[in-house]
A and B are shown apart, each in its own frame.
Chain A
Amino acid sequence: MQHRVPAPARGSAQQPPGEAADERADGPAAGARRRSVPDLMRPQILFTWLPLATATALWVYSLPGIDFRHMDDWGLIDRLPAAFYLSLAVLTGGFVVSLRRAGTAPWWPGLYSVALLFALKAPTSILYDSVRYPWASKHDAVVNHLLANQELRPGVPLSGNMAAYDQWPGFFTLNAGLVRAFGVDTAASYLNWAPLFYGVVLIPVLVLIYRTFAEDWRLVWTGVWIFEVANWVGQDYFSPQGMALILDLAVLAVVFRHFVRPGAAGELRSRANLDPAAASVPPPTTGRQRAVCVAILAPLIAAINFTHQLTPVMLCVALFALNLTRRYRNPGLLAVTAVIMLIWDVTMGRPLFVETLSSLKESVGNLLNNSRAGYAGELTGPGPVLQGRADIVMVLVVAVLAAIAVVLRRKLVKSALPLLLVSVAPVPLFAVNDYGGEMLFRVYLFGLPGAAFFAAAALVPAAAGQGGGRIRPVVRRRVAAVALPVVLALLVAGFIPAYYGKERMYYTPPAETAMVTRLLDSAPKGSMILAVTGSFPQALHRYDQLEHWYVAEQEEPQNAIMLRDPVGYLEPQLPRDGRPVYFVLTRTQDVYTAGEGLLPAGGFAELRSKLEASPRFRVLERTPYGEILQYVPPSPT
């Protein structure tokens, strides 16, 4: 413990000879300036800024050493230099130290949280010379399609259900505006920066929500930190769902803060009934004020509906859950949200809406199928297997921590119950639909803001000497003093395999992109493009003029049958009207089908050699990154 001894006001025998003279000469302003320099060196302040500076230096130093072009089975995990890992460790340590002063200087943990976002997700944005995530290039293709057509065609059926993007176009039309206003050729020139943009925009919204339920800045920033490291799910790429999530949370933030019914907070109005870290319940509002607020929210709700199919459903489910509480019983808001959603669904979104409704009969109640990820073969290879396990461990750690808080901090749970309800509300959607194998990730994503908050509550103890429970406050504080840095460090460590373990599938070499683009640009209108999977760069370039068939994106047993005799399996389903048919085989498809277990080990090479050997396919182009075959139909006899 350090004690500061007040310095004498005027010259003292203990003062260094030059110092007093300087002060007299420079006047009080200079004196203040000089005082601020030693302040930076005070241990309490030094250990707040020094780790950030050190971590930044280490991170910048490590960047050129990230050898992403030569990734193998471990993805990016073993290509990140030691300095990168060290920078994350220093950053975590600095964040924990900065939390000690969070009450008076909340911007420091805030800065660390932004730094963490950049440290974790910026390397690929800065370094990659091509699109990260092959499926991000699909969204780039949608923007190009809109710009080429200059209109929306929600009713025109397109191969691979791509018409859905004309039916929920908000994100793509916005980016069409940005592409033209920036003067760039396509969104590909900036789309790798989407995770950082979304992250920076999302942090204040998260803080706003957390501050509505917690007064303790330590809890708020720890929640943000946990959200960032637990957000390995990769939905914050250049996608409509990334933007829709931000809008959804913004609506919920406004609801939490401005839709409290008068007299509904009951005993929570008394500070004595609140957890020491909890915030007071927001002031109640009149019916008229809430009606005005609904009008204010309407554009946000409309934009969510313009942008994404699933998020409005998630929002309705969340608002329904809030209606179960006395505090937030606002059926009017729920009705307006549902009406806006239905209007969009039966007008612009009608084709997919009707199709989804008719398929609900089969999917409702099929919990096992709805909660699985994608076509879900067995993950294969050390990187993908480790990523799969790390994902599960990360989910479990956050869930267990949140459960601990729910059990131990009942007062906090009582006041923050709306946040808990909103997080749990999407879970029943497993019972409804599999959302193309993505429901698992989406439910996790929408539940994460609340889960991260409660997980933080398990780690950040209540203020000194306060809080109930059987465990003594001193013991609780000591446990937390160890648990907080350890768990945060483990979560940061877990993020790397959970996010970068499959990176070899996500990085698409420019030469491969160029090969695919060449073919798709030159393919006559109406051609059919075959590929093993759609997970390769530019897969859907010119998707409104070409037909696609990703032959291995089906149930696994079918793939085994296909591998036995690929040509015999495919040929009966190929067009017989003379349209050209091309088969694109690329390195990224090979990595993806092997890693995700769509094909057995060596299956891709087997398929490739059988196609090459068949007289029904001739090789048009062969590069180190893949090859292009053209189907040769049998001559009529």
Chain B
Amino acid sequence: MTLRQNQIRAILALSGWAALAATALPAATPARWIPVLLYVSLGPGLALLYPQPPALRPGARLEALALAAPLSLSFGALVSTCLFLVHGFSATAFLVALAAFSTVACAFPGLPLPAATRGAVERTKRVRREEG
């Protein structure tokens, strides 16, 4: 794990808490809504997708960029709906749940999307052969 990767992971791990801290600022100010919007739209997804394994095939970066927002919005919708279902909804609970999720996700490698590595099946076989 390179230093740069660890720095990015640390930023992603803290981003949700930074968004939470921003909610202490005056209502509806850009300094408040911009970090919240950026985090809810991208944070959890990037935390899940980063870092990807080395030897990426072309397009893997594009894939992470494209899927970050859909994944983040999905988790936002799932978390907020569950909070409503358990009668525990508040902005703080919403952001704390997402931020905690992102922090945990950052501790793990990126989602193992199989074809993101060169050759998928062929690669698995090659790795096994090397191991054997």
Contacts and interface: CB of A to CB of B under 8 A. Distances in A.
Given A152-B85, A177-B40, A257 B77 contact: no
Contacts of A310: none
Interface string A585-608: 000000000000000000000000
A302 B78 contact: yes
The residue among A169, A177, A285, A302 with the most chain B CB atoms within 10 A of its own CB is A177
A174 B115 contact: no
A286 B23 contact: no
A127 interface: no
A151 interface: yes
Contact of A181 (B77, B85, B95): B95
B120 to A, nearest CB: 4
B33 to A, nearest CB: 4
B23 A181 contact: yes
Interface in A240-288: 243, 246-247, 249-250, 253-254, 257-258, 260, 262, 282-286
Nearest to A296: B111
Interface in B9-49: 19, 23, 25-29, 32-33, 36-37, 40-41
B50 interface: no
A180 B74 contact: no
A184 B80 contact: no
A171 B77 contact: yes
Contact of A180 (B84, B91, B121): B91
Interface stretch (A4-12, A204-212, A552-560, A576-584): A204-212
Contacts of A250: 66-67, 70-71
Given A258-B114, A285-B120, A300-B74, A204 B66 contact: yes
A92 to B, nearest CB: 25
Interface in B59-82: 59, 62-63, 65-67, 69-71, 73-81
A183 interface: yes
B28 A184 contact: yes
Contacts of A513: none
A570 interface: no
Contacts of B40: 174, 177-178, 181
A306 interface: yes
B28 A208 contact: no
Contacts of A284: 120-121
Interface in B79-96: 79-81, 83-85, 87, 89-91, 94-95
B84 to A, nearest CB: 5
A246 B85 contact: no
A286 B77 CA distance: 31
Interface string B99-114: 0000000000001111
A169 B76 CA distance: 12
B87 A182 contact: no
Given A286-B124, A299-B74, A201 B94 contact: no
Contacts of B41: 197, 201
Query: For chain B, which range describes its interface: under 10, 10 to 19, 20 to 34, or 35 or more residues?
Result: 35 or more
Interface in A354-412: none
A174 B76 contact: yes
B131 interface: no
Q: Which of the listed residues A171, A181, A282, A296 has the most CB atoms from chain B within 10 Å of its own CB? A: A181
User: What is the interface of chain A mostly: helix, strand, loop, or mixed?
Assistant: helix
B4 to A, nearest CB: 22
Interface size class of A (residues with CB under 8 A): 35 or more
A235 to B, nearest CB: 17
Contacts of B115: 257-258, 260, 282-283, 285
B87 A151 contact: yes
B28 A180 contact: no
Nearest to B42: A201
Contact of B63 (A174, A208, A304): A208
Contacts of B84: 146, 150-152, 169, 173, 176
Contacts of B87: 150-151
Given A152-B85, A180-B90, A208 B62 contact: yes
Interface in A173-227: 173-174, 176-178, 180-184, 189-190, 197, 201, 204-205, 207-208, 211-212
A349 interface: no
A173 B37 CA distance: 15
18 contacts: A152-B81, A152-B84, A177-B80, A178-B37, A182-B28, A182-B36, A182-B37, A190-B33, A201-B70, A211-B59, A257-B63, A258-B113, A283-B57, A283-B121, A283-B123, A286-B121, A292-B114, A293-B114
Interface of A: 146, 150-152, 169-171, 173-174, 176-178, 180-184, 189-190, 197, 201, 204-205, 207-208, 211-212, 243, 246-247, 249-250, 253-254, 257-258, 260, 262, 282-286, 289-290, 292-293, 296, 299-300, 302-304, 306-307
Given A182-B28, A201-B73, A211-B59, 19 more contacts: A151-B87, A171-B77, A173-B84, A174-B40, A178-B37, A201-B41, A204-B62, A204-B65, A207-B62, A208-B62, A243-B77, A249-B70, A257-B59, A283-B123, A289-B121, A290-B114, A303-B74, A304-B74, A306-B78
